[in-house]
């Protein structure tokens, strides 16, 4: 991973406006490898450096706010969250994990390729296992505990950047099939990463293009045997103003058919 400016990294990792990220750095709220850093333009390597952000009292987790409405929608439709085993793919600083814990889930496996950015307080909770420097393309059963092994249908939330959501869904499905598991969950489609060449400075402004990308994604997952239960608009736009959409996906195995099939 190439080096980047600290302010740009903080802005992207915590979904902050760039001036806000810079102000937090100047306030001494960010430490690099154990030492406070005040230079917004400091070059960092997120895959190697230990970066800690001490959130101010006025900090609000936009990730939690983004997904909360969608989770309430599923709950109103009868989805049971109590004691559920969950995967948070692209967990970043833990916004979606926090929202799942609000619903009373049993355990969350927070997966991300980055290191050291997951919220410190969430990290200490017994219901959370942080899997850092882990790429979903390499997902394997050794990452998980007995609760995952015993869970026939984990609940998955996903928020990834800089790659297509299709790739994530495909790798997840292949893994779940190997494990003989079903899954359902909320997958955030960020249109700008499905058609980066057609975005304007990282923003998709054409509503017809957004709808087209959503149709293409739905066709893709349905061809994999995954049902699209509903599309739910994100409660908040992305940092640059992109409108984003949650896909409520459900992959269910016909257990009766599987049991009766010849060996």
pLDDT digits (tens, 9 = 90+) for 26-76: 989 999 999 999 999 999 988 888 898 887 765 657 788 889 999 999 999
When mean pLDDT is compared across 62-66, 144-148, 186-190, the lowest value belongs to: 62-66
Supply the pLDDT for residue 148.
Answer: 97
Question: Same domain, yes or no, for 82 and 140?
Answer: yes
Burial code (b: 16+ CB inside 10 Å, e: under 16) for 32-45 equals beeeebeebebebe
Q: Provide the CATH number for the domain around residue 32.
A: 3.10.290.10
- Do both 223 and 178 map to the same domain? yes
Domain contains 133:
yes
Q: Which domain holds residue 17?
A: 4-53
- Write the CB contacts of 38 (distance below 8 Å, at least 6 apart in sequence): 25, 26, 28
In CATH, what number is assigned to the domain containing residue 141? 3.40.50.150
Cβ neighbors of 19 (< 8 A, separation 6 or more) are none
244 and 204 fall within a common domain: yes
Q: Give residue-wise pLDDT tens across range 231-243.
A: 999 988 776 777 8
Asked whether the beta carbons of 176 and 182 are under 8 A apart, the reply is: yes
pTM: 0.78
Please say if the pLDDT value at position 256 is more than 60. no
Same-domain check for residues 33 and 144? no
Pair 15, 66 in one domain: no
Same domain, yes or no: 157 and 191: yes
């Amino acid at each position: 991973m190439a080096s980047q400016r600290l302010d740009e990294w903080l802005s992207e990792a915590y979904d902050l406006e760039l001036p806000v990220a810079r102000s937090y750095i100047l306030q001494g709220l960010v430490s690099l490898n154990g030492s406070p850093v005040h230079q917004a333009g400091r070059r960092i390597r997120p895959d190697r450096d230990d970066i800690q952000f001490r959130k101010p009292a006025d900090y609000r987790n936009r990730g939690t706010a983004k997904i909360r409405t969608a989770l309430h929608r599923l709950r109103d439709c009868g989805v049971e969250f109590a004691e559920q085993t969950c995967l948070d793919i692209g967990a970043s600083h833990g916004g979606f994990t926090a929202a799942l814990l609000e619903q009373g889930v049993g355990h969350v496996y927070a997966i991300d390729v980055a290191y050291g950015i997951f919220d410190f307080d969430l990290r200490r909770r017994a219901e959370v296992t942080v899997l850092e420097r882990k790429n979903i393309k390499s997902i394997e059963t050794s990452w998980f505990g007995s609760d995952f092994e015993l869970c026939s249908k984990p609940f998955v939330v996903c928020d990834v950047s800089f790659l297509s959501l299709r790739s994530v869904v495909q790798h997840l499905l292949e893994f779940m099939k190997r494990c003989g598991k079903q899954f359902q969950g909320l997958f955030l489609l960020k249109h700008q990463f499905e058609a980066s060449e057609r975005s304007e400075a990282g923003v998709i402004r054409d509503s017809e293009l957004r709808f087209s990308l959503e149709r293409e994604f739905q066709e893709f997952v349905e061809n994999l045997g995954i049902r699209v239960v509903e599309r739910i608009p994100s409660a908040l736009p992305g940092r640059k103003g992109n409108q984003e959409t949650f896909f409520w996906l459900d992959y269910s195995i016909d257990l009766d058919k599987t049991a009766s099939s010849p060996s």
